[in-house]
Amino acid sequence: MTHKMRKVILVIEDASSYCRELIRGISRYAQVHGPWAIYRNIHDSSYRHGRELRKEFYDHLYEIDADGLITRSPERTKEITKKGVPTVIAITETHASGNIPKLDIAHDLIGKMAAEYFIERGYTNFAFYGNIRYHWTRLRYEGFKAAAGKHNFYYYDHPTNREILTKGVDFKINHLASWLVTLPKPVGLMACSDAWAVNVIEACKLVSIHIPEQLAILGVDNDEPICLTCFPQLSSISLNAETSGFKAAQLLDDLMNGRKPENKKIFVEPVQVVTRTSTDVMAITDNDVAESLQFIRASRREPIQVIDVASKVGVSRRTLQNKFRQKLNRSILDEIKNSRIAYAKELLLNTDMNISEISNYMNFPGINSFSRYFKNETELSPIEYRRKYGRR
């Protein structure tokens, strides 16, 4: 049976890793469930990507007898949607979606993950860098601040004063550096994105703030061309953008086939923090706790017990338990579980090892034991976790 070739317009810029991952997920769906003819602005180098696409490109899109549209520029493509073309909007900052299905980002959960990451590392001073006049930035800021809770919290109000903005990058970096100097150290700082985190790294160099010892920096998107070329290399929160792109294409396919979708909103969620040099330090002043954490992380493949940690450090179990409660607000066993689960997640997402191989590698007595352990801590089985957050 021959399937009709669907004509799908894709208005998604490809300047960021997030958007490239969305496109990759959409294209994978089209390859498996198509055929789709995808129309994008890549054939003419004079066309500009994203929200600044040239008028000629949009005029060209209107002439296509399209079957579907996925857009991050709903205002620019509203004439296509008005024609009744099934549409999925893939952007947060819009009030024009109405009842149109939408792919959104769980910005508050991104902020929450960042705060919890710093809390686990013993930080009590938190800072956020971004411009909350942007809706997506404000949501990340609010999630970060709420999760930081009772800890000291500082926010850099990115300058919008015309005099400052017209003075160039160097002036703005100096303006940022003057704020960073005032922060109590050590401090865990979340930048609203990887691109913004670069400014913080450059500002720290100007005023000799040591990264990560005095200021640990965490970005968002895990955009490797940015993260790996920073000095020091940038830690970042990765998102399940490729999986979400696949789901957005599936949602559009339902619409094009006249099926009522189960959900009209898909959320891109944070998956994990990819730790690199910019945060690879613990803000712990107690030597016993610091040594314990190093041992737990070094032993994350092994089923170590609390008594093993106390023996390694050379203090009583009760004394060490009390120190963990005071410094980290969690038990030694909690830390062992957190470390084991974080490593299991890393293996599930970043390797081709099957569940049995991961179970053996991490020295569980069997695959059932590993699956129960993982599900008790995450509410998902290893297979469910890999399907939800991993690349298909």
pLDDT value, residue 44 = 41
pLDDT value, residue 73 = 85
Q: Do domains 107-239+273-279 and 287-389 have the same CATH topology?
A: no
Architecture in CATH of 287-389: Orthogonal Bundle (1.10)
pLDDT value, residue 208 = 94
pLDDT value, residue 46 = 41
Whole-angstrom distance, CA of residue 8 vs CA of residue 70:
8
Question: CATH code for 107-239+273-279?
Answer: 3.40.50.2300
- Given this structure, which CATH class describes domain 6-105+241-271? alpha beta
Question: 203-248: per-residue pLDDT in tens?
Answer: 999 999 999 989 999 999 999 999 999 999 999 999 999 999 999 9
User: pLDDT higher for 54 or 122?
Assistant: 122
Question: 53-112: per-residue pLDDT in tens?
Answer: 556 666 777 778 889 999 988 888 888 888 889 999 998 765 555 688 999 999 999 999
Whole-angstrom distance, CA of residue 87 vs CA of residue 249:
10
Q: Grade residue 347 by pLDDT with cuts at 50, 70 and 90.
A: very high
Query: Residue 231 gets which letter from DSSP?
Result: S
Residues 155-162: contacts with CB under 8 Å, at least 24 apart: 155/127, 155/128, 156/127, 156/128, 156/129, 156/130, 157/131, 157/132, 158/129, 158/130, 158/131, 160/131, 160/133
Q: Tell me the three-class secondary structure of 301-319, residue by residue.
A: CCCCCHHHHHHHHCCCHHH
Question: 152-189: per-residue pLDDT in tens?
Answer: 999 886 665 555 556 667 778 898 999 999 999 999 99
pLDDT value, residue 166 = 65
Mean pLDDT of the chain: 88
How far does Cα 8 stand from its chain's mean position?
28
Looking at residues 259-277, what average pLDDT do you find?
A: 89
Question: 16-54: per-residue pLDDT in tens?
Answer: 899 999 999 999 999 999 889 998 865 444 444 444 555
Crossing angle of helices 306-313 and 287-298, in 10° steps, is: 130
pLDDT value, residue 264 = 84
- 102 with 89: CB under 8 angstroms? yes
pLDDT value, residue 318 = 95
Whole-angstrom distance, CA of residue 329 vs CA of residue 120:
9
Whole-angstrom distance, CA of residue 109 vs CA of residue 273:
12
Domain boundaries, the chain: 6-105+241-271, 107-239+273-279, 287-389
Q: Grade residue 349 by pLDDT with cuts at 50, 70 and 90.
A: confident
pLDDT value, residue 96 = 54
